Homo-oligomer: A and B are copies of this chain.
């Protein structure tokens, strides 16, 4: 028998409250607020919750924001695994599509913005949102190197920086409005082919 009753003494914390807080936080962030403009009192009010209930779970605003952002699911796209090119396109196209969504976009901004001041925020976000994709991308590239689709001396980290960085750049300073649908394809093709003239 495994009665490993982990429950602590006293009334257990309300799952309902927790969800309401996270939801309120994401709503307010998506409503166009930056992390700094976002107020705990507004979150509490919107969630129908006392401030205490928030501070019992998170020590400060940033911690809450991190966890809230972390709850946004960033599922990996299905990778066919047939060609490196197609898999990379799938991965990058996910980023392109997310750029059009308020929540994901804000999450990215927040993660980028806090990096120097509060390491924890960006590190946490990195772990939860970026890491899985980077792992997937690394596998795709490594596989490519192994099976000869990519050149054997490829610097995988560098290749990832080129691909990911390009998407970040377009996200930030790309053309107004939605990014072109074939952007991911073109980025991958250019990166794989290089700039050199075809021999």
A114-B117 contact in complex given A130-B173, A196-B192, A199-B199, C-beta closer than 8 Å: no
- Please, how many angstroms separate the alpha-carbon atoms of A119 and B15 in the complex? 37
**Contact pattern, A 102-137, Cβ under 8 Å of B = 1, otherwise 0:** 000110010011111100001000100010000000
Query: From residue A154, how far is it (CB to closest CB) to chain B in Å?
Result: 6
Interface SS majority for chain A:
helix
- Please, how many angstroms separate the alpha-carbon atoms of A173 and B112 in the complex? 10
- Please, how many angstroms separate the alpha-carbon atoms of A169 and B108 in the complex? 13
- Please, how many angstroms separate the alpha-carbon atoms of A194 and B196 in the complex? 8
A90 CB-CB contact with B under 8 Å: no
Count of this chain's copies in the oligomeric assembly: 4
A190-B117 contact in complex given A150-B197, A169-B165, C-beta closer than 8 Å: no
Query: From residue A89, how far is it (CB to closest CB) to chain B in Å?
Result: 13
- Please, how many angstroms separate the alpha-carbon atoms of A154 and B190 in the complex? 8
Complex contacts, A197 vs chain B, CB 8 Å: 148-152
Complex contacts, A35 vs chain B, CB 8 Å: 36
Q: Could you jot down 6 A-B contacts, CB within 8 Å?
A: A34-B36, A36-B117, A106-B116, A152-B197, A164-B169, A168-B168
Interface residues of A (CB under 8 A from B): 32-37, 105-106, 109, 112-117, 122, 126, 130, 141, 144, 148-152, 154-155, 158-159, 161-170, 172-174, 186-187, 190-199
